Structure 1
Amino acid sequence: MAQHRIHAGTDIACVGVWDAGLPLAKRAIEGTALKESAARGEVLVIDTSADGRYLLRIHVDEPFVPSPGQRFDTVGNELGLHLGSGTAMAGGCEDFRNPRPQITSAGDRFHVEPSWYRVRVHLNQTEGSDEEEQRAHEEAARALTSEELARYLRLGKALRTGWLVAVVAVAAVLATVVFQAALTLGVLGALVAAAAGWSILRLKRGGYDALHLRYQRALMAAYPPEIVLELNRATGPIPGGFVYLDDPPAS
């Protein structure tokens, strides 16, 4: 039982999951060839109807239960997917067996038990709200101790002040040059800008970047995914295919 969160990008309005151990093709697989591969369970294809990046959460042998206040709709039928190598790839379907991957990386791989899987796809239909954003920030704050959170907020405020002072000081220097204002103003502005720059550097060395990275990672993890896939081991072969987030094209 495991969960994986992957940001899947696509330039052909199509994301999916496939066995990373499949042999590479001579060229990108698309059109009829992609449909035939999907039907054989080599790739689970999700037609998104639009290019972009989609946050996927993949549950392997683990049920998906939406959090309170969230609404997910199951789309399409349950389909088969063969992950015989034990290493799966999630991402844009333009990289399926592509000898020159364009949009996926090693970070888009995850490990499973080699097997056939029954796959169900759920689409997030929850309306975005301020409450959802607030809950995400509250969850991210729990990734830091109370002392770390207080320090992170204090350093963040000081950092923003430092940047503001630096911008104003640089503007004063530029005004001196452009409008030939008093030399004293230019020198003062340069000194203030240098002091602000040193203050910003000191804050970053003081641990702000590390705290910010932890907070942002927790914040991203707290936001609900756009698409959830449930993968459950099964005895195969099982017919595969496409899942359409919008209406499927007319046959």
Structure 2
Amino acid sequence: MSAATYPFAENTYTLYSYAGCPFAQRTLRALEVAKVPHEVVEIDLANKPSWYHLVNPQLKVPALRTPSGDILIESLVTSEYVAEEFPDSQLLPSSSVERAQLRLFVEIFSSQIIPNIYGTLRAATAEEQEKKKQALLQGIREVSRELERQWERSSGKGGPLWYGDRFSLAEVDTVSFVNQLVGPEHYRGFKVPDTDEFKAFHRWFNEASKRPEYKKFSQDSQTIINNVQKFVA
């Protein structure tokens, strides 16, 4: 392979991914739910191939090459592209208001939970760890409240998933990171309380974790614990 080329599948989608990356799992799940034919090129993030900068100059996963040769990067961008390109998947609703409500849920999750999962692990002192754990718990509290609001809307159908009984972009963009909570639990003793204020969160994830769309790309707890060890202060 010359320095000017990189591997891709002809006339179909090519996803550059890493099985242990929760960000890449967003796109994997989107393609799976939408039933989009695709090929996966696994990228070893610890030893990236010399050609990968031609795919993604940021050297991150995921990256999605379309059949026309366009390359899209960033997990929220690629998952939403799949949802929009394949509307029959119903990953996104047709209503602009409902799309905005779903995007708000993903934004709350992405800004208040994801950074604090890794912040909890990176915190070096007991004081900083406790601060990050409380911030993480507050993020989960906000997500639980947002789920309750959604289930009161007609589109929520009373739960247990964002749109009642179907896996949508709300789950595609978030469930990989709920799985990552085993890291803070193992290394920092973090637990989501089994109380009423977190009841919706537990109900939602308990249902999502039973679905094949979740199971196909999820990893066992020990693998996640090993993978996140590099973040632990």
TM-score, with length taken from structure 1:
0.24
Structure with greater strand share of residues: 1
Return the index of the structure with the highest Cα Rg.
1
Structure with greater helix share of residues: 2
The answer to which structure, 1 or 2, has the higher relative contact order (CA under 8 A, 6+ apart) is: 1
